[in-house]
A and B are shown apart, each in its own frame.
Chain A
Amino acid sequence: AQSVTQPDIHITVSEGASLELRCNYSYGATPYLFWYVQSPGQGLQLLLKYFSGDTLVQGIKGFEAEFKRSQSSFNLRKPSVHWSDAAEYFCAVGGIYSNTGKLIFGQGTTLQVKP
Chain B
Amino acid sequence: DSGVTQTPKHLITATGQRVTLRCSPRSGDLSVYWYQQSLDQGLQFLIQYYNGEERAKGNILERFSAQQFPDLHSELNLSSLELGDSALYFCASSAGNIQYFGAGTRLSVL
Chain B residues with Cβ under 8 A from A41's Cβ?
Answer: 103
CB-based nearest B residue for A36: B101
- Please report the number of residue pairs spanning A and B whose Cβ atoms sit closer than 8 angstroms: 55
Stretch at the interface among B14-22, B40-48, B76-84: B40-48
- Given A44-B90, A49-B98: A100 in contact with B56 (beta carbons within 8 A): yes
Q: Does B65 contact A (CB under 8 A)?
A: no
- Given A101-B31, A102-B56: A45 in contact with B97 (beta carbons within 8 A): no
CB-based nearest B residue for A32: B97
Question: A90: which of B43, B44, B94, B104 is its contact (CB, 8 Å)?
Answer: B43
Give A residues with C-beta under 8 Å from B.
Answer: 32, 34, 36, 41-46, 49, 51, 90, 94, 96, 99-108
Give B residues with C-beta under 8 Å from A.
Answer: 2, 4, 31, 33, 35, 42-45, 48, 55-56, 58, 90, 92, 94, 97-104
